Amino acid sequence: MKIHELTTSKVKSTKRLGRGISAGQGKTAGRGTKGQNSRTGSKFKAGFEGGQTKLAQRLPKARGFKPLDRKEYQVVNISDINALSKKTVNGAVLKSAGLIRKADGLIKLLGGGTITLAVSITVDKASKSALEAIQKAGGTVILKKPKQSS
């Protein structure tokens, strides 16, 4: 590379089209002759597929609706808590163990598996079978009070 070949811009200059026959891309400027694609201006509408049914129309539409006030709980089984072998369990402990994604999110305790440890666990909701199993093992379940929306 020579000093006169250096440039400051990295953008390659585009070829100027339609500037006469001697320019190399004159007259039709590489667009062929006549027809929709030879004209200037807007070509096709967004999503146009040459007369074929558009993809947006071919795909099935969503059915039903998702309510705005829907609550999504992160579920934890009692067998997972038994494997932790801790005396007190809350959102932060479950998050650090990788059992839930968000420590401050809603947590529901399910009665899957067995528990032998007497643990004190703080959750937002718990199934009846989970409550019975933890109480039978000598532990307690503290249910958080739901936040009041004003």
Q: Who's near 110: CB < 8 A, 6+ residues apart?
A: 75, 76, 77, 78, 126, 127, 129, 130
Query: Under DSSP, is residue 141 helix (H, G, I), strand (E, B) or coil?
Result: strand
For the entire predicted model, the pTM comes to 0.55
pLDDT tens profile 41-77: 877 888 888 889 999 899 888 888 878 888 899 999 9
Residue 40 domain flag: no
pLDDT in tens, 116-126: 989 999 999 99
Q: Check pLDDT > 70 for residue 148.
A: no
Residue 100, in any domain of the structure: yes
Among the listed residues 99, 126, 130, 98, the one whose alpha carbon sits nearest the alpha carbon of residue 112: 130
Asked, for residue 56, whether it belongs to a domain, the answer is no
Q: Which domain holds residue 89?
A: 74-143
* Domain presence at residue 4: no
> Does an H or E element contain 74, and which?
strand 74-77
Residue 134 has what pLDDT? Answer: 93
Q: How high is the pLDDT of residue 149?
A: 57
Digit-coded pLDDT (tens) for 23-35: 888 888 888 888 8
Q: Would the pLDDT of 22 be above 80?
A: yes
Structurally, how many domains does the chain consist of?
1
Alpha-carbon distance of 37 to 55, in angstroms, equals 22
Note whether residue 139 is domain-resident: yes
The verdict on residue 107 lying in a domain is yes
Q: Which residues of 33-47 are buried (b: 16+ CB within 10 A; e: fewer)?
A: eeeeeeeeeeeeeee
| Chain centroid to CA 63 | 20
For residue 104, tell me if it sits in a domain: yes
118 occurs within a structural domain: yes
Q: What is the CATH number of the domain that holds 117?
A: 3.100.10.10
